[in-house]
């Protein structure tokens, strides 16, 4: 007998078994890859949905702030119920007095936020900077002339800053042309939890 040992040759069923095991590994890896891709996609969709819901909430905060500013402007023009003692600017809004309405917009005294675009070419609400605050701002901050309070600027889901508005003089084309009167175009801007989230509302008011 020879001293060399002969290794048995694998049978055909054994080779098939090994090939099947290799194919199973590939299939499992492909399934894991597909599941991972689906999981990542689902996570991205969930994040986008959450971001969209948050943006919608922030915009709603801005809209509500702008609506509050419109109401504050109406109280500025015509307090309701009308107090026995006129408010600071109530006498200015008689529908005929244009003196306190400054070309562009007023920035001081009782003319703050009172605008006359008669000679400016563009409506004042297109050129006014509603984000400016402090002295010299050409817009009226909520509550300045009405004494009403508005929660803003504190941590939490509330506007980053108080809403602001302007009151613009507009000729009233209805009625006696020989005795001209005016309407008041109120434009208000509200802010979301971030100052760059803004909503603008506008209304015409006849006193």
DSSP 8-class letter at 190: E
Q: How far is the C-alpha of 190 from the C-alpha of 11, rounded, in Å?
A: 81
Distance separating alpha carbons of residues 130 and 137, to the nearest angstrom: 8
DSSP label at residue 165: E
CA distance 106 to 184: 15
Residue range 133-159, pLDDT digits in tens: 888 899 999 999 988 899 998 888 899
What is this structure's pTM? Answer: 0.74
pLDDT tens track for 92-107: 888 888 888 988 899 9
Q: What share of the chain is helix, strand, coil (3-state, %, to 5)?
A: 35, 20, 45
Q: Which H or E run includes 186? A: strand 181-191
Per-residue model confidence (pLDDT) at position 1: 47
């Amino acid at each position: 007998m020879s001293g060399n040992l002969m290794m048995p040759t694998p049978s055909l069923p054994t080779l098939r078994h090994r090939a099947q095991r290799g194919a199973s590994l590939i299939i499992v890896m492909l399934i894991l890859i597909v599941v991972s891709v689906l999981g990542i996609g689902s996570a991205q969709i969930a994040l986008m949905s959450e971001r969209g819901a948050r943006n919608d909430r922030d915009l709603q905060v801005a809209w509500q702030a702008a609506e509050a500013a419109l109401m504050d402007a109406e109280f500025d023009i015509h307090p309701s119920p009308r107090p026995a003692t006129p408010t600071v600017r109530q006498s200015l809004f008689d529908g005929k007095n244009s003196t306190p309405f400054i070309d562009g917009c007023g920035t001081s005294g009782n003319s703050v936020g009172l605008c006359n675009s008669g000679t400016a070419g563009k409506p004042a609400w297109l050129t006014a900077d509603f984000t400016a605050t402090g002295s010299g701002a050409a817009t009226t901050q909520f509550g300045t002339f009405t004494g009403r309070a508005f929660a803003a600027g504190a941590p939490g889901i509330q506007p980053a800053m108080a809403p602001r508005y302007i009151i613009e003089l507009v000729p009233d084309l209805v009625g006696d042309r020989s005795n001209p009167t005016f309407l008041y175009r109120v434009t208000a801007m509200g802010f979301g939890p971030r100052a760059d989230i803004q909503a603008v509302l506008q209304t015409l008011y006849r006193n």
